[in-house]
Amino acid sequence: MCLLISFAAGALLTVSLFDILPEAFEAVGIVKGLVSFGSGYLLFSLLTRYVYHVCPACSASHTEVQFRAITIAMVSALSIHSFMDGLAISSGSASGSSIGFLILLAVVYHKFPEGLALTSVAISSGMSRRRAFFMSTLIESSTTLVGGIVGFLLPLSQGSHWSGFILGHVAGGFVFIVLHALLSEVVKHHPRYTILSAILGGLSILAVQYFL
């Protein structure tokens, strides 16, 4: 789990810094892009502090951590997280470049350990394996799909202000997840493997970008 989270974090960070943010800056300018970036970071920070960890995998990646029972707060925080994933994918696709596919790839990387963590929490709360898997899949897929549909319905196009603000907002959320995963949890336990895995995740995105 630790290595998977680190790999996904490296991919998310690379996409955010080398693709999403430059696209946002081009669409709305550096100042507005930074404001939208800050809004995304602040939203995920507030959710994590006052509702629940917006990334359950980031806070439950080690066996010594006691898994909490499923709560409405956790499901709500994760739903917002997944909604933003879907919005990021649709906004990236509207930009008219390969950024949409790169965002999709990075989100898929992150969904795997996130789904494992959520399923583990559900099993620890008393659910059967099958029910926990179904619940996790339903929450992750439905909320991500809703985010994608909302993004599709918004007036997004290449270089539009809407697209720029959303991409900046999404980048802020992604960077928060990366810092939360790597610095507050994973690095404390396995720093060498964490950094190596994160670098590999970032390189995988750069490799795909090169071939695209």
Q: Which residues of the chain have pLDDT under 70?
A: 56-74, 95-97, 155-160, 184-187
Q: Residue 46 CB: number of other CB atoms within 10 A? A: 11
**Residue 204 structure tokens:** 């995988």
At residue 62, the pLDDT reads 47
Backbone phi, then psi, for 70, in 5-degree steps?
A: -60, 130
At residue 14, the pLDDT reads 93
**Which residue ranges make up each domain of the chain?**
2-211
At residue 60, the pLDDT reads 52
At residue 156, the pLDDT reads 61
Q: What is the pLDDT of residues 150-193, one digit of tens each?
A: 888 876 655 567 778 888 998 999 999 888 777 766 667 777 88
Q: Residue 129 CB: number of other CB atoms within 10 A? A: 10
Of 70, 82, 76, nearest to 132 (Cα)?
70
Q: Provide long-range contacts, Cβ within 8 A and 24+ apart, for 181-185.
A: 181/5, 181/6, 181/8, 181/9, 181/55, 181/57, 181/58, 181/61, 182/6, 182/9, 184/58, 185/58, 185/59, 185/61, 185/62
The radius of gyration computed from the CA coordinates of the chain, to the nearest angstrom, equals 16
Helix (H) / strand (E) containing 183? none
pTM: 0.80
